[in-house]
Amino acid sequence: MPSAQAKVRKPTAAAKTAKARKNGYDPLAPGRIKTILQRLDQTYPGVTCALKHKNAWELLVATILSAQCTDVRVNMVTPELFRKYPTPAHFAALKPEQLEPDIRSTGFFRNKSKSIVGAAKTIMQDFGGQVPDEMDKLLTVPGAARKTANVVLGSWFKKAVGVVVDTHVHRISRRLELTRNDDPKTIEQDLMKVLPQEKWIGFSHQIIHHGRALCVARKPKCAECPLENICHAADKTWSTVEIHKAAKP
């Protein structure tokens, strides 16, 4: 017989999800996923990558620069950057400190300079000056972690091999209860399980636009949101549906 002082175990996230499904609500139900995707298609038709680029190399550099920086700022920097250094060969000939003044305004410029110059050298030495179009090869390029690789593969090569999980996708996927995880790699795996593969590329673009336009971090514009009546996020500013405490960004 348990002692009177025994602690009562709190239900786990998985247990809460199981209870919710038993009560008739399943955040991952195919019908709900379909509705989310349809409404995103209607609200953000034809959206593409916000980073300006003319080729795979420019997109790779722009994506590296976008870490902890707005796309608007990156798009202000890259035109002059690519005019000054048109090809990977030009970047590969630099020392990182030579690149720093050109990208200083994007933040973390020392690390980014090392990554970009390192990427250029690897692409010249290992891939004949061409950005590789395969995930395993792209991940060997300095600065090209999985998120960056997914951006390049999806937006330039049109290869849906994963889902881009940036800060907007991370936050909004949790708000929409498409995942309960906090690690970007695990979130990506969760999204790949519930989203049709043909939507992997577009979904990220749409969610990024949604995060900037309506589902903003500090004060989401819930009254204007096309997903409002199927969103139960804990931080909603206005709601016509039940709030779920576990649906946190």
* Domains observed in the chain: 26-47+163-230 (1.10.1670.10), 56-155 (1.10.340.30)
Residue 18: the pLDDT is 53
Angle, helices 71-84/96-103, rounded to nearest 10 degrees:
130
> pLDDT-based confidence at 77, cuts 50/70/90?
very high
Helix, strand, coil abundance in the chain, percent, nearest 5: 55, 0, 45
* Confidence band, pLDDT 50/70/90 cuts, at residue 21: low
Residue 197 banded pLDDT, cuts 50, 70, 90: very high
- Return the pLDDT at 1: 43
Active site residues: 147, 166
Band of residue 202 on the pLDDT scale cut at 50, 70, 90: very high
The whole-chain average pLDDT of the chain stands at 92
Above 90 in pLDDT, residue 83? Answer: yes
Least confident of 13-17, 23-27, 138-142, 164-168: 13-17
Which phi and psi (to 5°) does residue 123 adopt? -65, -35
For the cut 80, the answer to whether the pLDDT of residue 108 exceeds it is: yes
The radius of gyration computed from the CA coordinates of the chain, to the nearest angstrom, equals 21
The predicted structure's pLDDT at residue 14? 52
Confidence of residue 24 (pLDDT cuts 50, 70, 90): confident
Confidence of residue 128 (pLDDT cuts 50, 70, 90): very high
- CA 194/CA 119 separation, integer angstroms: 33
Average confidence (pLDDT) over 239-243: 96
CA-nearest of 175, 128, 169 to 147 is 169
Find all residues with CB under 8 Å of 15, minimum gap 6, and list them: none
pLDDT at 240: 96
- Mean pLDDT across 97-123: 98
- For helices 200-213 and 184-194, angle between their N-to-C axes, nearest 10 degrees: 120
pLDDT(7) > 50: no
Per-residue model confidence as pLDDT tens digits over 166-179: 999 999 999 999 99
Of 20-29, 150-159, 239-248, minimum mean pLDDT range: 20-29
